Amino acid sequence: AQKVTQAQTEISVVEKEDVTLDCVYETRDTTYYLFWYKQPPSGELVFLIRRNSFDEQNEISGRYSWNFQKSTSSFNFTITASQVVDSAVYFCALSGFNTGGFKTIFGAGTRLFVKA
Amino acid sequence: DVKVTQSSRYLVKRTGEKVFLECVQDMDHENMFWYRQDPGLGLRLIYFSYDVKMKEKGDIPEGYSVSREKKERFSLILESASTSQTSMYLCASSLLGGTSGSYEQYFGPGTRLTVT
């Protein structure tokens, strides 16, 4: 089965705290893509990152970093020194040949509240 | 920048009306998608299209149809709107992808449809 699990429904932090959003996936594919998207209160989903399954290097972009561990089927997202503008719903997603080729499976999302 | 536009941000229709939701992308993407997003249910795929005049059912196609006459435009049609179709509708597009799956999706701002 192809599945993406974001066990954290909501997380609340105070500004400047670090926060990690968890993502665990299941797939039969040997090669696949993993993604993170952000949906701010305005509603428009914004693509953040794509990771190919054969590339396990961690990635850092400013305050954002992603930790991909194939051995545990996890693709976690860390925001360092969180800011109020980071408040949003974050979705982890999976695409692979067995998800139907063109389809993407989204997790249920994690709502992050960052308080000033 | 990829731009995906949707014809309306907010729409109010009456039960039984035929409703057209239009989506246009300007990046020559092969894939286009329609999702609905409801609280607690996440993103659910209604239909997608990987080429002009091609369409595939998603997870919840009942009560909907689609049309893709031009590469840049993907329309969602509610043949006879019902109150259960009150929702946020999101359009997205992406490049075709390969054997690792579909590439990242770029989303429009969404249309919040209310059926009374």
pLDDT digits (tens, 9 = 90+) for A15-61: 999 999 999 999 988 889 999 999 999 889 999 999 999 888 888 89
What region, left, alpha or beta, does residue B63 occupy, with left being phi > 0 and alpha being psi -120 to 50 degrees?
left
Q: What is the mean pLDDT of residues A87-116?
A: 89
The tokens of B113 are what? 């449809």
**Which residue in B has a C-alpha nearest to residue A90's C-alpha?**
B42
Q: Cβ contacts (< 8 Å) between B110 and chain A: which residues?
A: 43-44
Contact check, Cβ <8 Å, A95/B102: yes
Q: Cβ contacts (< 8 Å) between B108 and chain A: which residues?
A: 44
**Which residue in A has a C-alpha nearest to residue B92's C-alpha?**
A45
Q: What is the mean pLDDT of residues A76-100?
A: 91
**Which pLDDT does position A72 carry in this prediction?**
95
Contact check, Cβ <8 Å, B90/A53: no
**Which pLDDT does position A100 carry in this prediction?**
61
Question: Which residues, numbered 48 to 107 in chain B, qualify as contacts with chain A under a Cβ-Cβ cut-off of 8 Å?
Answer: 48, 50, 56, 58, 88, 90, 92, 94, 96-97, 99-107
**Which pLDDT does position B2 carry in this prediction?**
65
Chain A interface disruption, residue of B93, B102, B105, most A CBs within 10 A: B102
Contact check, Cβ <8 Å, B109/A95: no
pLDDT in tens, B73-97: 999 999 999 999 999 999 999 998 7
CA A91 to chain centre: 5
pLDDT band at A111 (very low <50, low <70, confident <90, very high): very high
Report the DSSP pairing between strands A3-5 and A46-52: unpaired
* Residue A102 pLDDT greater than 80, yes or no: no
pLDDT band at A97 (very low <50, low <70, confident <90, very high): confident
Higher pLDDT, A10 or A29: A10
